């Protein structure tokens, strides 16, 4: 594998244009389930496409489609940066 | 021979092209309503094809069948309880992996026969995706058929396949479903052994599926089982479920429902490996490029504001022309009826009650058609979710969703379409909150009231005063939003996890169907309530008929007639015209005085005087009170009623301004009245819309009560606070 891990962080801290892999989805109840049902399960790679003009929400590309999440929701997702 | 009937339900992810296929099949022969008890749109169509009577149901678009959103509950309950002959799951081929999540759940339900439509196969091809549909069909033991919905390719063949499937004697296939890991499978098997002996045909669940749902802690399934199973079976079932969930929790260090979700995606990943290949060729993602502009950090907002401005302009400026035509059409009809029908109570009812009432509704039709066309355009192109993306941060401050912005903005034009536009919100709570605060956006019908009051009492500063009134409404809306979000409608607003679907060229047919469906609903349902409401208001202001007038008006009229005919005899021809005008003026004065007295003595006037003490602390006299009551029909009527009660003609004229000034109203009282008009009970059309859109009398009454109480309190604070600091 030519990927290199740079430790765990939360998705809300990933910069625009960076790639990350999901380690764990936190949060509770409906939110957590919804995130996972959209295909953001452990081990899934995602790409932070952009942050909205007011810095919230952010847009990520996962499994080929675009999803937006609020920063507070993204902060529940633990990821590792993929270089 | 009666044709055999087949029920086919369409399921699929949002943006999978499900509605396009539905429109292609049913055309305009569709019935739009609500699912019982909820405000989720239900679309149903009947077509005769291939010798069958087909009933097609468009289920709400969902990503899953967990009972978290109403859409999901509605879709699931429909399949479970109505058990359609065939469920066609529309799979977005360009988004196969995620689509298969719903598809596997559909298969797990084990109720209806399932057929997959691999839709948008052209988009998938263009993206360099190759899907082996035969393999997919074989792996999931489900017939698969490729379609291109927006080009209407393969839709007829899809229907034919669905009919064949329904007619075949094959049972819903029990073939390969998701195989969970060993621990989970054994837990499922344990629950299944408890459940199976008690299952009667009237329980619309498949035992395996019910077991899985119990492990996932699905409350709806548990409740249903508790009421359907014999008492002695419930206790062991519940305790066993609890035990198994605990064991799994410890074993995986994770909630069982999350483990199951994970494993379903694992199963899907396995299928993907076998059926899906993507060419490594770099493709151009035009949607992504469009978004580089439309949600750009710098130009995203200006472009968004331009689109909203354009929508507003189209709706209210372009819409004003047909509105005028309808208005003058109604006016023309009114005057024809007025001159043709003999003077009678029935005529009064027909002209001033029914025609005026229905006329006041039908003028909104152009606005509503245009607005819904624009909204359909936003939705069908995919821009709506970008609006939400841009606005969410701001709207979230009020505890609302990004999509609430459009209804609230439209509220400045007219609350009726605005509240209907709240349909675009998926979460019930968000929708309700948006509906409750939209009336505080000052609608255009209130503007004439402000113009008269501010124009009369604030002269050159009228513009600024009106601006402050608008601002007052926005602030009230924000505060109300925050208040309700922390009290009545508590709970986190729905997760914002929202797909930004690829931009698509909209189909005119879909746009028109969309627009017409919603407008038709407006016409039908509003018509009834408004008709009744207008008749009541008319009756209140028209009765009692036998007023004891304080003056002998007929005698006065006869007197003037006599005097002027005397004068006319001796006047020279040049003066005849001036005399005639003079006479007309005097007669009008008397008629106005008569009408003012009649209205004052009508039930409306009596009520107005009775409730005058309520308005007195706001500095509003009984005439103002009656006008505000009449304003329930439509806000413009506040001005014309003031005119009638002050015995002046021509709303907004100098005469009314003079009358208001001499009536003892102060600028402060006028401002308090404007605040009251801004905030109090919305007009009857809006109330009818709230009733329709919330499908709840309780919330409708709440909205009426809340707005009116807030209006009174605010006007009270403004008037008395103002007096305290020495304003008049």
Contact B718, B673 (CB under 8 A): no
Higher pLDDT, B571 or B61: B61
Spatial distance between the Cα atoms of A57 and B393, rounded to a whole number of angstroms: 7
Burial class of B726 by CB neighbour count within 10 A (0 to 12, 13 to 18, 19+): exposed
Do the Cβ atoms of B498 and A68 come within 8 Å? Answer: yes
Q: What is the pLDDT of residue B280?
A: 64
Q: Chain A to chain B, count of Cβ pairs less than 8 Å apart?
A: 115
Sequence-distant (6+) residues with CB within 8 A of B501 are: A65, A66, B14, B15, B382, B385
Q: pLDDT averaged over chain B?
A: 85
Q: What is the pLDDT of residue B326?
A: 86
Nearest Cα residue in chain A from B278: A64
Residue of B65, B216, B265 best to disrupt the A interface, most CBs of A under 10 A = B265
Alpha-carbon distance A66 to nearest alpha carbon in chain B (angstroms) = 5
Q: What is the pLDDT of residue B654?
A: 73
Does residue B11 sit in helix, strand or coil?
A: strand
pLDDT tens per residue across span A27-82: 877 788 888 888 899 899 999 999 999 998 999 999 889 999 999 999 999 999 99
Determine the average pLDDT of the residues in B28-34: 73
Provide the b/e sequence for B583-599 (b: ≥16 CB within 10 Å).
beebeeebebbbebbbb
Highest mean pLDDT among B59-68, B192-201, B513-522: B59-68
Does residue B456 sit in helix, strand or coil?
A: helix
Residue of A22, A51, A65, A78 best to disrupt the B interface, most CBs of B under 10 A = A65
Interface of A with B in 5-34 (CB under 8 A): 25, 30-34
DSSP string, A17-83: T-EEEEEEE-S-HHHHHHHHHTT--TT-EEEEEEE-TTS-SEEEEETTEEEEE-HHHHTTEEEEEE-
Contact B405, B387 (CB under 8 A): yes
Residues of B in contact with A43 (CB under 8 A): none
| Across B57-66, B118-127, B354-363, least confident range | B354-363
Spatial distance between the Cα atoms of B513 and B113, rounded to a whole number of angstroms: 29
> Is 60 exceeded by the pLDDT of residue B2?
no
| Across B40-49, B147-156, B165-174, B416-425, least confident range | B165-174
Sequence-distant (6+) residues with CB within 8 A of A83 are: A3, A4, A6, A19
Banded pLDDT at A4 (limits 50, 70, 90): very low
Highest mean pLDDT among A58-62, B455-459, B466-470: A58-62
- Please tell me if residue B130 touches chain A, with a CB cutoff of 8 Å: no
| Across B74-83, B232-241, B511-520, B711-720, least confident range | B511-520
pLDDT tens per residue across span B126-161: 888 899 999 999 888 889 999 998 888 889 999 999
Q: What is the pLDDT of residue B640?
A: 77
> Is 80 exceeded by the pLDDT of residue B335?
yes
Residues of B in contact with A56 (CB under 8 A): 392-393, 396
Sequence-distant (6+) residues with CB within 8 A of B344 are: none
Spatial distance between the Cα atoms of B568 and B584, rounded to a whole number of angstroms: 13
pLDDT above 70 as % of chain B = 94
Residue closest to B599 by CA, chosen among B590, B611, B608, B589: B608
Determine the average pLDDT of the residues in B672-694: 91
| Across B232-241, B318-327, B338-347, B492-501, least confident range | B492-501
Banded pLDDT at B327 (limits 50, 70, 90): confident
Higher pLDDT, B180 or B585: B180
Q: What is the pLDDT of residue A3?
A: 47
- Please tell me if residue B226 touches chain A, with a CB cutoff of 8 Å: no
- Please tell me if residue A3 touches chain B, with a CB cutoff of 8 Å: no
Q: What is the pLDDT of residue B201?
A: 64
- Please tell me if residue B258 touches chain A, with a CB cutoff of 8 Å: yes
Residue closest to A76 by CA, chosen among A32, A36, A34: A32
> Is 80 exceeded by the pLDDT of residue B306?
yes
Q: What is the pLDDT of residue B298?
A: 93
Banded pLDDT at B517 (limits 50, 70, 90): confident
Determine the average pLDDT of the residues in B24-50: 78
Does residue B315 sit in helix, strand or coil?
A: helix
| Across A63-72, B337-346, B518-527, least confident range | B518-527
- Long-range contacts formed by B38-45: CB under 8 A, 24+ apart: B38/B70, B38/B74, B38/B428, B38/B695, B39/B423, B39/B428, B39/B431, B39/B693, B39/B694, B39/B695, B40/B70, B40/B71, B40/B74, B41/B423, B42/B74, B43/B19, B43/B517
Alpha-carbon distance A80 to nearest alpha carbon in chain B (angstroms) = 19
Do the Cβ atoms of B265 and A65 come within 8 Å? Answer: no
Determine the average pLDDT of the residues in B332-349: 84
Determine the average pLDDT of the residues in B385-404: 88
Spatial distance between the Cα atoms of B95 and B330, rounded to a whole number of angstroms: 52
Does residue B233 sit in helix, strand or coil?
A: helix
Q: What is the pLDDT of residue B522?
A: 66
Q: What is the pLDDT of residue B141?
A: 86
Residue closest to B681 by CA, chosen among B716, B659, B656, B709: B709
- Please tell me if residue B265 touches chain A, with a CB cutoff of 8 Å: yes
Q: What is the pLDDT of residue A2?
A: 40
pLDDT above 90 as % of chain B = 30
Q: What is the pLDDT of residue B89?
A: 95
Handedness of CA B630, B636, B642, B643 (dihedral sign): negative
The residue count of chain B comes to: 728
Determine the average pLDDT of the residues in B298-302: 93
Nearest residue, CB atoms, A68 vs list B258, B265, B389: B389
Q: What is the pLDDT of residue B136?
A: 92
Q: What is the pLDDT of residue A17?
A: 93
pLDDT tens per residue across span B65-96: 887 777 888 899 999 888 899 999 999 998 89
pLDDT tens per residue across span B541-553: 778 776 677 778 8
> Is 70 exceeded by the pLDDT of residue A15?
yes
Q: What is the pLDDT of residue B527?
A: 64
Quote the radius of gyration of chain B (alpha carbons, Å). Answer: 32
pLDDT tens per residue across span B523-541: 765 566 667 777 777 788 7
Contact B68, B95 (CB under 8 A): no
Q: What is the pLDDT of residue B492?
A: 57
Please state whether the peptide bond connecting residue B190 to the residue before it is cis, i.e. omega within 30 degrees of 0: no
Determine the average pLDDT of the residues in B202-214: 85
Contact A29, B495 (CB under 8 A): no
Q: What is the pLDDT of residue B714?
A: 96
Q: What is the pLDDT of residue B399?
A: 82
- Please tell me if residue B504 touches chain A, with a CB cutoff of 8 Å: no
- Please tell me if residue A63 touches chain B, with a CB cutoff of 8 Å: yes
Contact B65, B76 (CB under 8 A): yes
Q: What is the pLDDT of residue B36?
A: 66
Banded pLDDT at B615 (limits 50, 70, 90): very high
- Please tell me if residue B263 touches chain A, with a CB cutoff of 8 Å: no
Nearest Cα residue in chain B from A49: B288
Residue of A22, A32, A37 best to disrupt the B interface, most CBs of B under 10 A = A37
Highest mean pLDDT among B141-145, B179-183, B309-313, B709-713: B709-713
Determine the average pLDDT of the residues in B429-444: 90
- DSSP symbol at B112: S
Highest mean pLDDT among B274-278, B342-346, B525-529, B597-601: B274-278
> Is 80 exceeded by the pLDDT of residue B312?
no
Banded pLDDT at A1 (limits 50, 70, 90): very low
Determine the average pLDDT of the residues in B34-47: 76
């Amino acid at each position: 594998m030519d990927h290199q891990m740079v430790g765990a962080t939360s998705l809300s801290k990933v910069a625009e244009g960076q790639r990350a892999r999901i380690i764990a989805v936190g949060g509770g109840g409906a939110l957590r389930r919804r995130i996972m049902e959209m295909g953001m399960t452990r081990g899934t790679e995602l790409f932070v496409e952009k942050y909205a003009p007011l810095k919230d929400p952010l847009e990520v590309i996962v499994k080929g489609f675009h999803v937006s999440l609020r920063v507070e929701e993204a902060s529940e997702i633990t990821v590792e940066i993929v270089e | 021979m009666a044709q055999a009937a087949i029920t086919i339900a369409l399921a699929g992810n949002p943006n999978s092209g499900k509605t396009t296929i539905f429109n292609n099949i049913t055309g305009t022969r569709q019935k739009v309503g609500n699912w019982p008890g909820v405000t989720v749109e239900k679309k149903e169509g009947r077509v005769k094809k291939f010798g069958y009577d087909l009933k097609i149901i468009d289920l709400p678009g969902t990503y899953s069948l967990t009972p978290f959103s109403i859409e999901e509950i509605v879709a699931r309950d429909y399949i479970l309880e109505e058990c359609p002959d065939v469920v066609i799951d529309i799979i977005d081929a360009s988004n196969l992996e995620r689509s298969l999540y719903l598809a596997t759940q559909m298969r797990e339900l084990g109720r209806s026969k399932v057929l997959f439509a691999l839709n948008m196969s052209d988009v998938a091809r263009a993206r360099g995706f190759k899907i082996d549909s035969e393999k997919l069909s074989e792996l999931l033991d489900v017939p698969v058929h490729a379609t291109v919905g927006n080009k209407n390719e393969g839709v007829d063949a899809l229907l034919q396949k669905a009919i064949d499937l329904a007619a075949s004697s094959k049972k819903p296939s029990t073939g390969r479903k998701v195989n969970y890991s060993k621990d989970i499978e054994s837990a499922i098997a344990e629950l299944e052994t408890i459940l199976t002996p008690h299952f009667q045909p009237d329980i619309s669940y498949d035992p395996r599926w019910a077991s899985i749902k119990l492990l996932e802690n699905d409350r709806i399934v548990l409740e249903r089982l508790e009421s359907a199973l014999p008492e002695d079976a419930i206790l062991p079932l519940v305790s066993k479920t609890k035990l198994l969930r605990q064991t799994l929790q410890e074993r995986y260090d994770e909630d069982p429902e999350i483990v199951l979700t994970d494993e379903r995606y694992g199963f899907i990943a396995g299928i993907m490996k076998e059926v899906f290949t993507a060419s490594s060729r770099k493709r151009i993602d035009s949607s992504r490029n469009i978004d580089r502009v439309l949600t750009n950090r710098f130009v995203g907002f200006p472009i968004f504001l331009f689109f909203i401005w354009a929508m507003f302009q189209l709706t209210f400026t372009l819409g004003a022309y047909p509105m005028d035509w309808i208005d003058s059409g109604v006016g023309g009809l009114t005057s024809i009826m007025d001159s043709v029908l003999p003077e009678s109570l029935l005529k009064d009812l027909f002209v001033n009650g029914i025609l005026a009432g229905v006329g006041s509704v039908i003028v909104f039709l152009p606005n509503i058609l245009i607005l819904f066309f624009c909204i359909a355009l936003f939705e069908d192109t995919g821009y709506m979710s970008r609006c939400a993306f841009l606005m969410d941060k701001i709207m979230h401050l009020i505890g609302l969703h990004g999509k609430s912005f459009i209804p609230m903005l439209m509220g400045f034009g007219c609350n009726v379409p605005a509240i209907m536009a709240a349909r675009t919100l998926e979460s019930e709570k968000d929708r309700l909150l948006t509906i409750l605060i939209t009336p505080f956006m000052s609608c255009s019908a209130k503007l004439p009231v402000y113009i008269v009051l501010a124009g009369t009492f604030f002269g050159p500063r009228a513009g600024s005063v009106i601006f402050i009134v608008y601002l007052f409404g926005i602030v009230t809306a924000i505060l109300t939003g925050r208040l309700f979000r922390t009290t009545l409608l508590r709970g986190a607003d729905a997760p914002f996890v929202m797909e930004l679907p690829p931009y698509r060229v909209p189909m005119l047919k879909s746009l028109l169907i969309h627009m017409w469906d919603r407008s038709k609903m407006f016409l039908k349902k509003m018509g009834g309530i408004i008709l009744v409401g207008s008749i009541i208001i008319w009756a209140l202001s028209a009765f009692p008929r036998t007023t004891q007038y304080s003056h002998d008006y007929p005698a006065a009229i006869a007197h003037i007639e006599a005097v002027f005919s005397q004068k006319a005899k001796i006047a020279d021809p040049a003066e005849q015209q001036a005399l005639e005008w003079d006479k007309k003026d005097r007669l009008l004065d008397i008629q106005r005085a008569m009408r003012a007295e009649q209205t004052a003595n009508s039930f409306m006037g009596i009520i107005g005087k009775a409730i005058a003490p309520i308005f007195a602390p706001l500095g509003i006299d009984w005439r103002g009170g009656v006008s505000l009551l009449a304003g329930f029909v439509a806000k413009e009527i506040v001005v014309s009623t003031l005119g009638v009660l002050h015995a002046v003609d021509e709303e907004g004229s100098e005469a009314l301004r003079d009358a208001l000034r001499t009536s003892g109203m102060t600028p402060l009282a006028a401002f308090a009245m404007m605040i009251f008009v801004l905030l109090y009970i919305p007009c009857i059309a809006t109330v009818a819309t709230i009733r329709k859109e919330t499908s709840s009398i309780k919330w409708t009454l709440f909205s009426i009560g809340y707005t009116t109480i807030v209006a009174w309190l605010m006007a009270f604070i403004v008037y008395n606070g103002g007096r305290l600091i020495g304003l008049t």
